């Protein structure tokens, strides 16, 4: 059974760094062809893809945020991470991680992040 769960700070202030963790089970990020992606969704709005990390440590970022994003993984502990630097109110959203095998095929429940002074 594949499951993913996101965790994060809940609330942070503008200019801080947002650190998110995706803890998963039911698959391994060391398996050929496997990946984990991060997607966010502001309240009442659509989906925005942020970044992917693959089994071979290949990484891809959305160019609109590339300079602010860092994705990484801890294969031994079945975790993936996303950092977003210099956040502002526009980064307020629900953040999802998802397994990538047949597309984004399993999603976590999401974690709400609010950026507010």
Partner 1 sequence: DIVMTQAPLSVSVTPGESASISCRSSKSLLHSNGITYVYWYLQKPGKSPQLLIYRMSNLASGVPDRFSGSGSETDFTLKISRVEAEDVGIYYCGQLLENPWTFGGGTKLELK
The interface mask with partner 1, positions 55-74, x = CB under 8 A, is -----xxxxx----------
Q: Are strands 111-115 and 11-12 parallel, antiparallel or unpaired?
A: parallel
**Which residue of 20, 27, 29, 37 would you call a contact of partner 1, by CB under 8 A?**
37
- Torsion-angle region of 81 (φ positive above 0: left; ψ -120 to 50: alpha; else: beta): beta
Handedness of CA 50, 19, 102, 75 (dihedral sign): positive
- Least spacing, CB of residue 76 vs partner 1, in Å: 26
- Residue 110 Cβ vs partner 1, minimum distance, rounded to whole Å: 6
**Minimum CB distance to partner 1 smaller for 59 or for 83:** 59
Phi and psi based region of residue 76 (left: phi greater than 0; alpha: psi -120 to 50; beta: remaining): alpha
Q: Which residues bind partner 1 (CB under 8 A)?
A: 37, 46-49, 52, 60-64, 96, 102-110
């Amino acid at each position: 059974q594949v499951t993913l769960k996101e965790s994060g700070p809940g609330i942070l202030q503008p200019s801080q760094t947002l650190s998110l963790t995706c803890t998963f089970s039911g698959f391994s990020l060391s398996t050929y062809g496997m990946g984990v992606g991060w997607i966010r969704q502001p309240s009442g709005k659509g989906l925005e893809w942020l970044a992917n990390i693959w089994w071979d440590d290949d990484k891809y970022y959305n160019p609109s945020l590339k300079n602010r994003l860092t994705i990484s993984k801890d294969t031994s502990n079945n975790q993936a991470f996303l950092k977003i630097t210099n956040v502002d109110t526009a980064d307020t959203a629900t953040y999802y991680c998802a397994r990538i095998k047949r597309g984004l095929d399993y999603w976590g429940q999401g974690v709400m992040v609010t950026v507010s002074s």
